[in-house]
Amino acid sequence: MTGWKVPPPILRQVVWRYGLAVGSVGVALAVALLFGRGFDVRGALFLTAVALTAWFGGMIPGLTALLLSLLSLGYFFQPLVPYIELAGIHVPYRVVSLAFFASLALIVCWLSASRRRAEEGLRESEQRWRNLTEALPQLVWGAGPDGGCDYFSKQWTNYTGVAESDLLGWRWMDALHPDDREPTRQFWIESIAGRQLYDVEYRIRRSDGTYGWFKTRGTPIRDSEGRIVKWFGTCTDITDRKRAEQALKDQELELRQARDLLEIKVMERTKELQRNEAYLEEAQRLSHTGSWAWNVARRENVHWSQEHYRLFGLDPETDSASFETAFQRIHPEDRATFNVAVERAIRERSDFEVDFRTVLPDGSTKYVHSVGHPVFSASGELVEFVGTGMDVTQRRQAEKERERLRQIQADLAHMNRATTMGELTVSLAHEINQPIAAAITDANTCLRWLKRDQPDLEEAREAASRVVKDATRAAEIVSRVRLLFKKGTPQRERVDVNDVIQEMIVLLQNETLRYSISVKIELTPDLPRIMGDRVQLQQVLLNLMINSIDAMRDGKGARELTIQSERADDDHLQMSVSDTGVGLPPEQADQIFNAFYTTKPHGTGMGLRISRSIVESHGGRLWASNNSARGASFHFTLPINTDAHE
């Protein structure tokens, strides 16, 4: 069986405490025996031994020291007197003195032990408080009643990188932002004076030199009389909150600025819309264009502009804009067309365009071109049509007038061609006579070959072929002349300009031979075809070539007519007719294209004017210039792969 063992730490503590009791009493006894036998000195020594034992050893060792002191006093020392009288009773002095000593020693023992326990409890409490502050995320500090700081937590020193000894007193303020030091000092002085709570925000310098915002709160500790004996406080990091607040302020400022800007924009936009509405109304009035909106389900007009009222001869102030009222103003012959267009747009859910006439109250008629566009709901249902109505009465009248002018121009062009061909009658007669005479000769030759006793069929066949060839040539000349004399509407087709040039050269061949004019042809091969009227283009070339021949007819020196075709750029072809005639005076370079302006004694002044009109109607340009040596050149361009311009 194992015996019970006392743990070494407890054993050492017991030996220390009770050994202290025995030792202190022993020392008191030795001193008392050494220095005297007076009870007063002996009592003080033994009381000191009891007090020291109770202070360092505790209550039980103190009582042990008290008991040993009583035994020592009772055994080693004699009382001063045997008895004392108390209330007429003789009491042994030893009993009274030892009882008094025991009472006094008991009190001293209890006071010493209690004070010792209180101080140890205070030290333990302070240590627990320090441990608690080290565990807190805040920076914790403590200060005396005078405001001088006497404690800073480890978080304080780690954050600032400053030792606690360098922060004590008022030196901690050196770690604050320069702008925050004096306000914080004044606030702290007011707080320690008891005039306000210590609740302040300031910036503390971090170990890396940056500053962070902290909210600091201090709590005073007061005694029973209300006096401040201690200050404790915490510093909470609010840097992120400050940043968020600053960001919020910046956002609020931006939002405020955006709101102000938006209000300004809205006001400007409102004014602009009002101006635009006024401009739109004025533009609609000037262009005779009205706007409208028509509900499909209710089949009624939901919006009409003032100009749209005018298209139907209605008053915006007094007349109704109902669908029936508007429909009754449509010309009876156009109502069916209008209904068909609208119903098809509803059925196909598509745009529509329709032309109709409106009959006004005064009996006059307006031509209206209306365009409608469908509007759908979020679910895809057809809700309404919105669109415009345009008064095209003047356009219709202009089209009729333009058609009349076009006919007049065609008549003038025909007259110009007829006049030109009349001037070329002799040349044309000679040109036609040549193939006819050649055909007669070949026919006679063919007959001679056939009249032989043994007809030579091969020679007769060759002669007959030459007759056909000469007759075909005469027919082509007649065909070209008839085509130029033909009166009709322009016919646009794909035209090879080189073929047109060759045809005009053949037609004027006798005229050039007549005046000893050499013809130089410079045609670029494989030019793209253009869209144009062949007869009109022949007329332009015919006018330009005859003008060049006339300019060289009475001149001296070499007579040369140069005709060129080339590509001016990616979109145009250019034709040029140049001569070595008298040229153009500089002041007449553009006047020659004016109507009725001519430099010929018997000219009409319409040839070049008509030629420029034809070229411009094809989308091209005609101009003239003097050559560097002598003579003049006429150039005109025509667009490639484009339709004719109206």
Task: Write the pLDDT tens digit of every residue in 596-632.
Answer: 555 555 555 566 777 888 888 888 998 888 887 788 8
- Among 114, 115, 110, residue whose Cα is nearest residue 47: 110
DSSP 3-state assignment of 446?
Answer: helix
Which numeric CATH code is attached to 288-391?
A: 3.30.450.20
Query: Residue-wise over 393-408: b if at least 16 C-beta within 10 A, else e?
Result: beeeeeeeeeeeeeee
CA 208 → CA 137, 159, 162, 171, 237, distances in Å?
A: 19, 9, 12, 19, 16
pLDDT tens, 82-100?
776 666 676 676 676 777 6
Say if CB 56 and CB 15 are below 8 A apart: no
Query: Is pLDDT above 80 for 184?
Result: yes
Strand 518-523 with 492-495, pairing = unpaired
Rounded to an integer, the average pLDDT of 395-413 is 64
Asked, colleague to colleague, whether 136-237 and 288-391 share their fold, the answer is yes
H helices, E strands: number in the chain = 17, 19
Q: Across the strands, what pairs with 389?
A: 290, 370
Pairing label, strands 198-205, 211-222: antiparallel
Strand locations in 377-463, DSSP E?
382-391
Nearest to 139 by CA among 218, 76, 196: 218
Average pLDDT, the chain: 77
- 189, with CB counted inside 10 A (0-12, 13-18, 19+), is exposed
Enter the DSSP assignment of 259: H
Q: How far apart are CA 389 and CA 353, in angstroms?
A: 10
β-strand partners of 234: 140, 217
Asked which of 261-265, 357-361, 476-480, 507-511 is least confident by mean pLDDT, the reply is 476-480
Q: How far is CA 345 from the centre of its chain?
A: 38
| Weakest mean pLDDT among 86-95, 109-118, 366-375, 383-392 | 86-95
- In the predicted model, is pLDDT for residue 2 greater than 50? no
| Calpha distance 120→116 (Å, rounded) | 6
Give the residue, 577 or 118, on which the prediction is more confident. Answer: 577
- Report the top-level CATH class of 136-237: alpha beta
User: Vertex 74, ends 72 and 78: CA angle to 5°?
Assistant: 110
Distance CA(215)–CA(200), nearest Å, equals 6
| Domain extent listing, the chain | 8-126, 136-237, 288-391, 492-646
Determine the Cα–Cα distance for residues 37 and 41; give it in Å rounded to an integer. Answer: 8
The topology under which CATH files domain 492-646 is: Heat Shock Protein 90 (3.30.565)
Mean pLDDT (whole number) for 157-184: 90
Of 413, 374, 388, 348, residue with least CA distance to 614? 413
Mean pLDDT across 456-474: 69
Could you tell me the pTM of the whole model?
0.35
